[in-house]
Structure 1
Amino acid sequence: MGPHVAVIGAGIIGLSTAVLAQEKIPGLQVTIISDHFSPQTTGDGSAGLWLPYCLKQTPQSDILHWSSKTYNHMLNLWKSPEAGDVGVSLIPYYKLTKKAGGADMEQPEWTKVPVAHHIISSHQAQKLSSDNDSKLTGGVHFISFTLEPSYFLPYLLKKFKLNGGKVLHRKVENLHDLCGQQYDVVINCSGVQARNLVGDNSVQPVRGQVLRVKAPWVFHAVLEDKDEGNYIIPNEEYVVLGGTQQEGNWNTKPDPTDSIAIHKGCCKLIPGLKEAVIMKEWAGLRPGRPKVRLERECISDEYGNALEVIHNYGHGGSGVTLSWGCAHDVAEILQDVLYNHPSSVKLSSKL
């Protein structure tokens, strides 16, 4: 038998990590442990847009590295015969601003990744403003993708099981509970629950609320350039309207006040949405952290049982955007832990 790895968490980060680990390390036994699977994950409520968002102090070099791998993976999925099954769509994206000097807005490193990236001039912004109720000064445009978790997560889970993966439906209260068990390595993809699982008080919920409306005439994504800016993202069935970015708020029930503000703000960007029928309201918790945590750690319980852990959490509002890139880095660390610098690891194949 090959080495045995446990992945904690079955969201977009956990499933991507588990599947890629299977692909990169032949013979690897992988078990996913989680109390929430699709359609009960945070990702299931998101629109799945490729866009680095809500990442605070995560280094730009890391964002560029992880997001580019995910973008290329989405591109390959979009070209594949499986595109319809996985829920991937190519989509024009516009980020618009009302700030002075909008055409000179900052361009982060990751804007090198998407194709057809260009600056929206003040003249173009004025033309866009004439179509809505906003006084726009500039923005950016590029080609992005949506990878809808409500489609992609079941696809990944099915693929994981076909590759021989196992699942356990239970909650891990403390990472030390897995010390001394059958796992050679544990990969922590627990999202916002990492706050309790590993005692990381820097992890904070960042509450996001969205509406889903019936608006088949909307074909492009729009985001307003401000801290709690509105956004409009078409999905397969509905158009997703957002949003909120409420740090420290654990409420997962839709707030009527937020719904009104979201609808009003999005209708300013695309007035035709006033005619759209609201189909669903949803709220979820992004795993906020000062920066993404992706690193190796060795822990031990009170009996001296050591356990190698790879942390992969704190992706803010960019779980989908960073998922495949982070999974690649985890797979590389995992290979190093198992075969190059095993430290405390006792491989199952040698027991």
Structure 2
Amino acid sequence: MSDLKIAVLGAGIVGSTTVIELKKEFRNASVHIISEKFQNETTSYVAAGIFSPEGGNLAGNEERTRKWLVDSYNYWNNIRRTQNFEMTGVRELSGYIFSRDHPHIVKNEWLEKLLPLYRAAEEDEMAMYPGGWKYGSYFTTLQTVPGNYLKWTANIIEDLGIKVEKRKVSSFAEVCDDFDILVNCTGMGAKFLCKDKAVFPLRGQLSIVRAPWIKEFVFGEWDTYVIPSFENVILGGCRQYESYDTAVNRYDALSMEERCKNMIPSLNKGQLVEYRVGLRPYRVPTRVEKEYRLVGSKLVKIVHNYGHGGQGITFSPGTSLNAVQLVRDMLTEKQSKL
């Protein structure tokens, strides 16, 4: 397949992971990554990066969701075991999840069957954190720090000879004539590129503070969380449905910081570094599928990989590996079947 030309649209964590796996699978192909935004310009950069699937079936059925999850965990864990793991941004991290009123909040059947440690929190552990917690769990999971990971993948993309193009793609017609197959990892951009009404933004905002004494993550109620990163600590969060506002909202910041400091009073000594805002691309189910689309007079082969919402980092390797398989399927299908 030396004449094969593939383009990945979008360069967040989903797009970057997908393009690397495509180049590994099709080593002789000409592989491109095309995006308007890269690295810290992307929504992925805003994420806290904890491997923790939320409720529901991302794929629309449990079997496929579980495969994505297991594949993703193994992928991240293999990276975490590399010698220079700090460069990759992937590491192991432990911490707590608490609730005052709802025991199901601290249970996660996906993680309980997958992680090396997931247990009930003891009363004295819950008492360490103000809040009157009645239920809690302690677990060891993985964290992918997006800034580190995206820089690391940028180096891999260069080493693999993947061609990088910085431009906005507003329609498939702009690129379909130049490539044999397109892989759509445009996140929120897919709402407009595909005219997909099922995609909508789930706005998030974070406060980044310097508090090096924080070594464990803590999740509380009302989407409150404190997550240490390599250099700083992330305070969150919020989920605002169908909000396109990318400006920092000081009221959101005050609310998040107050909730986090009530849970961990020592954060009052922390120093604010910056605020971050991102629009998570939410879709039910996440779209990982093949499409044959007629663009003008040309039948275009497209594989979609978007709509992860707030679980892009958790599931991106699994959906990317799935997308690569779909690309292979499309390239081997008989033209008579189309």
TM-score range, shorter chain: over 0.9
Match of 1:348 in 2: none
- The alpha carbon displacement at 1:54 in A equals 7.4
CA contact (8 A) 2:126 2:136 kept: no
Q: Match for 1:284: what amino acid?
A: G
| Structure 2 partner of 1:349 | none
Deviation, structure 1 residue 71? 1.5
State the distance in 2 between where 1:271 and 1:240 align.
15
Distance 1:311 1:110, change over 3 A: farther
- Please say if residues 63 and 110 of structure 1, whose CA atoms lie closer than 8 Å, have aligned partners that are also in contact: no
What amino acid is aligned across from residue 117 of structure 2 in structure 1? A
Q: TM-score normalized by structure 2? A: 0.93
Segments of structure 2 that go 5 or more residues without pairing to the other structure are none
Post-superposition CA distance 1:322-341 (Å, at most 9, x none): 11111111111111111244
- Distance across 2 between alignment mates of 1:235 and 1:153: 15
Query: Are the counterparts in 2 of residues 306 and 344 from structure 1 also a CA contact under 8 Å?
Result: no
Indicate if the aligned counterparts of 1:103 and 1:119 stay in contact, CA closer than 8 A: no
Counterpart residue type for residue 288 of structure 2: L
Deviations 1:139-181 (A, max 9, x none): 22221111111011121122112111101111111223333x1
Q: 1:54 to 1:275 in 2, by over 3 A?
A: farther
Contact 2:223-2:237 within 8 A present in 1 as well: yes
Call closer, same or farther: CA 1:22–1:57 in 2, change over 3 Å: closer
- Give 1:221's aligned residue: 217
Provide the residue aligned with 2:97 in structure 1: 95
Deviation at 1:295, TM superposition (A): 0.2
Aligned to 1:22: 23
- Residue 106 of structure 1: CA displacement? 4.6
Give the CA deviation at 1:133: 2.5
Name the amino acid aligned to 1:295: E
Equivalent position of 2:182 in the other structure: 186
CA 60–45 in structure 1, closer or farther in 2 if over 3 Å, else same = same
1:144 alignment partner in structure 2? 141
The residue correspondences of 1:62-211 to structure 2 (distance < 5 A) are 62-100=64-102, 102=103, 106-120=107-121, 124=122, 126-179=123-176, 181-211=177-207
What is the rounded CA distance, in whole Å, between the counterparts of 1:56 and 1:253 in structure 2?
31
Distance 1:273 1:140, change over 3 A: same
Provide the C-alpha distance between the structure 1 equivalents of 2:223 and 2:293, rounded to a whole number of angstroms.
41
Q: 2:317 aligns with which of 324, 327, 334?
A: 324
User: Is 1:337–2:338 an aligned residue pair?
Assistant: no
Distance 1:27 1:104, change over 3 A: closer
How many equivalent residue pairs?
A: 336
Shift in Å at residue 288 of structure 1?
Answer: 0.8
Work out the percentage of aligned pairs sharing the same amino acid: 27
Contact persistence 1:67–1:322 (CA under 8 A):
yes
Deviation sequence 1:76-100 (CA, Å, 0-9, x none): 2221113121112210032211115
Rate the CA distance shift 1:13–1:54 in 2: closer, same or farther, 3 A: farther
Question: What is the CA RMSD across the aligned residues, in angstroms?
Answer: 2.0
TM-score by length of 1: 0.90
> Judging changes above 3 Å, is the alpha-carbon distance between structure 1 residues 88 and 175 closer, same or farther for their aligned structure 2 residues?
same
Instruction: Note the alpha carbon deviations across 1:38-57, whole angstroms, 9 max, x for none.
Output: 12111112222111247676
| Alpha-carbon spacing, 1:53–1:106, altered in 2? closer, same or farther (3 Å) | closer
Q: 1-side partners of 2:106 and 2:165: how far apart?
A: 47
Task: For 2:332, give the aligned amino acid.
Answer: Y
Cα separation, 1, equivalents of 2:62 and 2:251: 35
Tell me, in whole angstroms, the C-alpha distance in 2 between the residues paired with 1:159 and 1:342: 34
CA distance change for structure 1 residues 62 and 264 in 2, over 3 Å: closer, same or farther?
Answer: farther
Residue number among 292, 304, 307 corresponding to 1:311 in the alignment: 304
Name structure 1 gaps, 5 residues minimum.
346-351
Following superposition, the deviation at residue 318 of structure 1 comes to: 1.0
